Chain A
Amino acid sequence: MSSTVIGSSILIDGEITGEEHLVVRGTVKGRIQVRDTLVIEDGGLVEATVDAASITVQGTLRGDVAASERAELRPSSTVVGDIRAPRILIADGASFKGNVDMGG
């Protein structure tokens, strides 16, 4: 119940901040900052600077990513930007361009 969902026909140009789980099926441009998990689902497009505890990408993400726990790129995902997270998972089939910083 306490999770935010951005539907597929929704376009947000601005900033999303929150405490809860955030699911993006639509388009978000600007900045995202959540204390919980961010999931960019298939068809979702995020062109933003992202800061979250955990990030799962199945759609498209353009922008720099910082995750305090982990970042996961699923097979259908496209990511362009730098990723900074202690644990990073990139699945076979995922498309990624950018720098990786695992804090090592």
Chain B
Amino acid sequence: MSQSESTHSAVGSPDEATTVVAPGTHIAGRLSGQEDIRVHGTIEGRIHLAATLYVEPEGIIAADVHADDVVVAGTIVGNVSAAGSIVLAASARVVGDLRAPRLVVAPGAAFRGQVSMEPPDEDELEAEAEAGRGRREGRQYTGAAQARPAPPRATVYATQNGVRLPPQRTASRRDAVAKPALARPRLDEQAGDLYGDAEEADWGDGVKRSKKVARPRVLARGKHKVERI
């Protein structure tokens, strides 16, 4: 399915999706599955989907979302990560962090949050799956608040002291990324002096150099993301 097709289908043909949440329906809790979901109503909690999530213009999602693809024409409050693409149509209203290898934002879409275009870490996914498994076992749902433990990722880079940081923070974040990159050559020189021409030193240098080559690419793709320094 091409990107433009999925954007179009956000507006038309509701019959493709097998699961539909109608306008007057409200779901609170954890939702997971392997088929497309089309949301005209409200979902609160957590969504884990191995398919496409369509949020229609009147749809509201107050949840952390992980899906293969996400097409938003409605409202999402929460972090969204997609294995494929995230598409924000013109009517989309999104507050939260987006993480997907491909992101399309149409003119007119409103969005506040961070964007990361790196693919999700494998261990992070595993941890998430593990956590989901643990929660699924042995406990029945008792209330909406309990079903929404703050995801670890949100606390890492979206909030501080429970408050979402203002946008200007991104500048200092960029400094934090830039500094080690500038400092690195000096460290390399020291290492070279210490070990002279020994083979080990060469090997160590080679590793560092390969890291150095990789770093600018990472920065260019996910501008605000600090990772593996």
Contacts and interface: CB of A to CB of B under 8 A. Distances in A.
B19 A7 contact: yes
A10 B31 contact: yes
Interface stretch (B21-29, B103-111, B210-218): B21-29
Contacts of B30: 11-14
Interface stretch (B66-74, B80-88, B139-147): B139-147
A101 interface: no
Contact of B20 (A4, A12, A26): A4
Contact of B31 (A1, A12, A20, A25): A12
B29 A15 contact: yes
Contacts of B136: 13
Interface in B1-39: 14, 17-35, 37
A13 B141 contact: yes
Interface residues of B, number: 28
A90 interface: no
Nearest to B36: A7
B41 interface: yes
B140 A14 contact: no
Contacts of A22: 25
A18 B25 contact: yes
Contacts, number: 93
Given A12-B30, A13-B147, A7 B25 contact: no
B67 to A, nearest CB: 13
Given A1-B14, A10-B32, A12-B29, A18 B20 contact: no
Contacts of A21: 22
Interface string A31-71: 10010000000000000000000000000000000000000
Nearest to B38: A5
B19 A5 contact: yes
B45 interface: yes
A4 B25 CA distance: 7
**What bracket does the count of chain A residues touching chain B fall in?**
20 to 34
Contacts of A5: 18-20
B22 A20 contact: yes
Contacts of B19: 5-7, 10, 26
B195 to A, nearest CB: 56
Given A1-B14, A8-B18, A18 B29 contact: no
A2 to B, nearest CB: 5
Interface in B59-79: none
A12 B35 contact: no
A10 B34 CA distance: 7
30 contacts: A2-B23, A3-B22, A4-B20, A7-B35, A9-B35, A10-B19, A10-B31, A10-B33, A10-B37, A11-B32, A12-B27, A12-B30, A14-B29, A14-B31, A14-B45, A14-B144, A15-B27, A15-B28, A15-B29, A16-B25, A16-B28, A17-B25, A18-B26, A19-B22, A20-B23, A20-B25, A21-B22, A25-B18, A26-B19, A34-B25
Interface of B: 14, 17-35, 37, 41, 45, 136, 140-141, 144, 147
